[in-house]
Structure 1
């Protein structure tokens, strides 16, 4: 599908002001399921925009929020370098967990009400965004979540105070989830992956699990860690999940 990728909306978030959500959607008429796509710590970079466009072209209204909107001016993109990484990590641990959750609620409400949306919703995320996609999927009405190499779930260290409750809340999950990890990812080592999977089993979650021979951020289509073959395979897993959960009668 031909898409539009030039739109954004400054969505109000209770307690923190407007959050810019970048919109990618089919250009033609019709209504499509919504996907709330959470970025890495660098916000809406060119690789994130290209991945959002790819998903939109499969027939989805994709909204990508600026995850640090309270701390950075609208449109801020952090660079893939040491200063950008330091700033992104500092904000990841400097933003209150309640702020991340309020962002998710606002983003989901925006997509649900968008004129081009059917109201059926999924979440998608990479790195920090993988964790945020999972937490967003705890909200009622989310059918699926695709979580790529999500950081800090196993350690419970997301947000201000580094004491999130994601593992504890897994029993609330109703959405079907997809987890994809690189075996060479130092941010989520084998022991951490085992913690997550054991908890999913404990609560009886409906989930799909893949571990691939890759490094962290292997979906990012620039830099030395990008794996094009695994990228295509992983997108296929994602589209199969969304097709199964968002297009059911």
Structure 2
């Protein structure tokens, strides 16, 4: 499947690119905003968009690092790339990121063939931003994979008004047990929030080709994600 690139105007001026993958056929489809990891809109993110398009969704992955450096497309295969990724993570402004995600959501809702329903799914940094998206935008449903730093952003949890699912890696090196416990205590009783814990799994267990990729855990998480979107974006 071949995707395309669109340009989206930011709400405070400037513009950023987004990768778009569309399902086959002409039937109306919901959209999903795919929120990047710290490696930019790379092949992993484009493959996720293509996978979602194959499942019947219009998938849109915006370049959230454009304010720092547009067009980041790196991997997790070298120290230099990891150093670059962590520098981008440190420089990233989450308030600007949420604004750009909400702008992307609004654009996605009006793309030709979209039903108007829009979900979000994010990974790593994107998992954190998927949580914020549920709390700080009008997204219809949101899913976060191994989000980093959610425990430090629980002050916005009261804004969650639509369904949120979080996939939590029990052995996540970037999210220690006390951070996971804090998130569970704050969100576990919220009927809009579903928490799934993956025993023995480390960060990025669903990143194909990654050091901690686990096919069985990834398959389970992805099936739960698809069921979640099927329910809430119908």
Bin for the TM-score computed over the shorter chain: over 0.9
For residues 174-204 of structure 1, the C-alpha deviation after alignment (integer angstroms, 9 at most, x for no partner) is 11111111112111111111111111146x3
Q: 1:20 aligns with which of 8, 12, 17?
A: 17
Question: What's 1:211 paired with?
Answer: 197
Root mean square deviation, CA, Å: 1.6
Q: 1:222 aligns with which of 209, 213, 229?
A: 209
Question: What's 2:222 paired with?
Answer: 235
Which range moved further: 55-64 or 86-95? 86-95
Aligned partners of 1:16 and 1:128: how far apart in 2?
24
Residues 208 and 201 of structure 1, relative CA distance in 2, 3 Å threshold: closer
- Return the TM-score normalized by structure 2: 0.93
Q: 2:75 aligns with which of 79, 82, 90?
A: 79
Q: Is 1:33 aligned with 2:30? A: yes
Q: Is 1:128 aligned with 2:125? A: yes
- Return the TM-score normalized by structure 1: 0.88
Moved over 4 A (4+): none
Residues 97 and 223 of structure 1, relative CA distance in 2, 3 Å threshold: closer
Aligned partners of 1:18 and 1:225: how far apart in 2?
35
Aligned partners of 1:140 and 1:239: how far apart in 2?
21
Q: 1:190 aligns with which of 177, 185, 188?
A: 177
Q: Is 1:70 aligned with 2:67? A: yes
Residues 83 and 144 of structure 1, relative CA distance in 2, 3 Å threshold: same
Question: What's 2:93 paired with?
Answer: 96
Unaligned runs of 5+ in 1: 157-165
Residues 95 and 47 of structure 1, relative CA distance in 2, 3 Å threshold: closer
For residues 45-85 of structure 1, the C-alpha deviation after alignment (integer angstroms, 9 at most, x for no partner) is 222222221111111111011120122233x3023122222
Question: What's 2:113 paired with?
Answer: 116
For residues 68-119 of structure 1, the C-alpha deviation after alignment (integer angstroms, 9 at most, x for no partner) is 0122233x30231222222222222213232112111111111011112111
Unaligned runs of 5+ in 2: none
